[in-house]
Structure 1
């Protein structure tokens, strides 16, 4: 989920067709910003952003056919997904594509592949866009390829140091006046496999609930952008079940929390779905009476620390237990 300093504005010296992020920042969705190495096109603003701490991303670097993509590049690391629309609906997709090409080359990026419409795939690039799997969330939350006159254009580029891989799609969008741009940008890093938080015992959970009325459980983990509970969460879930068995009079509110990356409504919904998954596991796998548990989603509304650092965002992504009365 994680922004890698993406709020940085662009430095000077770019081509005239690209501008610093601060120019359009007032129209960006809350908390959104550009990747520091990949600028935006002039007159565009961010309508969708998603950030994942660590993932493996496959970027097409060749056209798509029934046999799949001709070639791909794979990178593991921090993933930033962005979608933009334009203030001027008459801006041409070709102009936007060439602006990105020029700006990337000036920043030392190697252009791995570029193409437009039928150069990409059948359906004037529609199959390429869909089968890449890179823009599904952005298309769903903001803009989908137009049914006609799609003008799909694409660039895959790698930074001179080899640590940033960018896939940029420019296209005419359904429900949007003028073109849209969707980006998937991977910044190489190794996964931190260490656990940042020691698992709480049932006694420690009880102490937190008695003293503070709530306790944060950091070791309940979920798949990226999903309410699917990961296997490494089982120890923490079993500890909660142990607490509920030891304290049969206790009733809990299970509250999901996210960091501030992405859309407010999406985060609230995701946090509730994750809390519901925990309740379902405790009721189904551990036999805790469902009436003793209630799920709630706080989204990004109650951070425990700053969201401006990766460490802070990791702490803010959590499940909290809150003691409640039995008649709630």
Structure 2
């Protein structure tokens, strides 16, 4: 009987030893970066943190909050729209007692020492609105305001700190959001977004429409999309290469003196709803102003409108699709 008990005891000790070995092995692996992840060379991590998620896009349009949140406008007072290489790394700590505010203050202090200029930094009420009830699926979202304004029931009432900085030596912007993640795997976490600006020529397969083709589109569909009216990035400034299409629109209206046009601006889905609605309206207004001032079209025959991201004609998941969605449409006005 004692031999049986002795054998059972040995097996229990062996199982316990194996369990503890596995536990310590997992603990040793817990604070390692995920495979293929690493810091950006210009931004050092906080000691004791490790990367749990890592995302990269060779060329992406990103909108970064650059001012406090205005509740009346439901948007940040200033936003910075950038295009270029996009990196996002999510870091966490094994130590659950790491202070989120201390992490934020560390970045506020060390980034200028590393050659960055702080554009904006704030916490809690400077950044967010009331809980929207939506989930905090911010990891791959290109607008950092998504984390700050759509934290949902999980992150709501948790402290959030944010900063935006630009390198003084390279075309690099860094946004860092530090927050307390709830739940068993929570504790202080921080998300570093790095955007390296660059210009990219997006090839288009369409050709400029003639006045007769515009007329045909209006007659058959009541509207026609003009893809060749181009604007400066994040602006209502009309680029010089748009002059040909604008001259064609003027030609059409001069040939048909009874024709009135609603000029509708459209955007892709990068940035929040209000931002895109405002930008599309500003761009359509710029087109109307151009036709009035450069071609003498009567203002009574034109009206501007902005549809923002509401009516895509292609998927916004690709740059080619987003390029198609950034357009101006002409709609016939019959009154």
TM-score, length of structure 1 as denominator length: 0.55
- The answer on 1:225 being equivalent to 2:234 is yes
Paired positions, count = 226
Question: Residue 282 of structure 2: SS of its match in structure 1?
Answer: helix
Relative to structure 1, the CA distance from residue 209 to residue 35 in structure 2 (aligned partners, 3 Å threshold; closer, same or farther) is: same
Relative to structure 1, the CA distance from residue 49 to residue 246 in structure 2 (aligned partners, 3 Å threshold; closer, same or farther) is: same
Select which of 268, 283, 288 maps to 2:297: 288
- The answer on 1:168 being equivalent to 2:174 is yes
CA distance in 2, matches of 1:309, 1:167: 23
Match of 1:130 in 2: 119
Match of 2:63 in 1: 50
Conserved? CA contact 1:116–1:151, under 8 Å? no
Task: Could you tell me which runs of 5 or more consecutive residues in structure 2 were left unpaired when the two chains were aligned.
Answer: 1-32, 39-48, 65-81, 121-142, 150-160, 180-187
- The answer on 1:237 being equivalent to 2:246 is yes
Relative to structure 1, the CA distance from residue 191 to residue 209 in structure 2 (aligned partners, 3 Å threshold; closer, same or farther) is: same
CA distance in 1, matches of 2:275, 2:178: 25
Higher RCO (CA < 8 A, seq sep 6+)? 1
RMSD: 4.7
Render the CA deviation track for 1:223-267: whole Å, top value 9, x for unaligned: 000001011101111100000000111111100001111111100
Relative to structure 1, the CA distance from residue 240 to residue 82 in structure 2 (aligned partners, 3 Å threshold; closer, same or farther) is: farther
Match of 1:35 in 2: 56
> Matches of residues 3-152 of structure 1 in structure 2 within 5 Å?
17-20=50-53, 34-35=55-56, 49-50=62-63, 78-80=84-86, 91-92=99-100, 95=103, 117=109, 120=112, 128-130=117-119
Question: Residue 297 of structure 1: SS of its match in structure 2?
Answer: strand
Select which of 183, 190, 193 maps to 1:183: 193
Relative to structure 1, the CA distance from residue 273 to residue 126 in structure 2 (aligned partners, 3 Å threshold; closer, same or farther) is: farther
Match of 1:279 in 2: 288
CA distance in 2, matches of 1:206, 1:229: 23
Select which of 245, 248, 265 maps to 1:256: 265
Render the CA deviation track for 1:45-79: whole Å, top value 9, x for unaligned: xxx9429xxxxxxxxxxxxxxxxxxxxxxxx9725
Task: Could you tell me which runs of 5 or more consecutive residues in structure 1 were left unpaired when the two chains were aligned.
Answer: 1-9, 22-33, 38-47, 52-75, 99-114, 132-136, 144-149, 157-164
Answer 1 or 2: which has greater helix percent: 2
Question: Residue 119 of structure 2: SS of its match in structure 1?
Answer: helix
TM-score, length of structure 2 as denominator length: 0.54
